[in-house]
Amino acid sequence: MDPLHRFGKQFIFIYLLIWFVGSLWMMALLGSGSVQGKLLGVDVNLYHEYVSFGFAGALGGALYGLRMFHEHYHDLTTQWVYWYLMRPILCFGSAIITIVLFESGILLLQVGDSMAARISVAFLTGYGYGKFMEKIRALTNTFFNGNANANGSSSGSGNNGGDQPKP
């Protein structure tokens, strides 16, 4: 019997469930303020909000993964195992970056400055990770393949996207 069908599906379900419940638990733990001091040389007090955003993104990614696992249980192949394993981790990081992009003013959205609003955006980033990556790709194209750079001159010609030096 194929190991994926014997143990793989149960492992993926338990893995996503641990990320889902663990993310909720870590957000509550960080929100309570009971985590203090340094962890691996990093001052937890300085970055606890960003870690909360990361876990909110992982929560969204795990929820989406659980939903897809339920909908496509019988269609699961080994190529999708990596997708399920990486989804919460990628969503963790992308949620933090989303909040940083909003705080920097690069991404514009009318969201309140409250912690609940930022956690909601982080969760939605995790849940809609594919759409987030499309938005980041479009934003990157706008920044680096645009028609004008900082001084208003042309950034390149043709399809080279400004990657080739001008003569």
The string of pLDDT tens digits covering residues 96-150 is 998 888 888 777 776 767 888 889 999 999 999 989 899 889 888 888 886 544 4
Sign (positive or negative) of CA dihedral 37, 42, 46, 49: negative
Contact between 82 and 65 under an 8 Å Cβ cutoff? The reply is no
Is residue 31 classed as helix, strand or coil in its secondary structure? Answer: helix
DSSP state letter for 40: T
Q: Would you say residue 127 lies in a domain?
A: yes
* Residue 156 within a domain: no
Is residue 54 in some structural domain?
yes
Q: Is residue 163 part of a domain?
A: no
Domain-located, residue 149: no
Q: Residue length, the chain? A: 167
The two structure tokens encoding residue 35? 């985590």
Please report whether residue 81 resides in a domain: yes
Domains contained in the chain, number: 1
Q: Are 50 and 122 in contact (CB under 8 A)?
A: no
pTM to 2 decimals?
0.76
pLDDT digits (tens, 9 = 90+) for 12-56: 899 999 999 999 998 998 888 777 777 778 777 778 888 899 999
- 76 part of a folded domain: yes
| Domain span including residue 106 | 3-140
User: Is 67 within a domain?
Assistant: yes
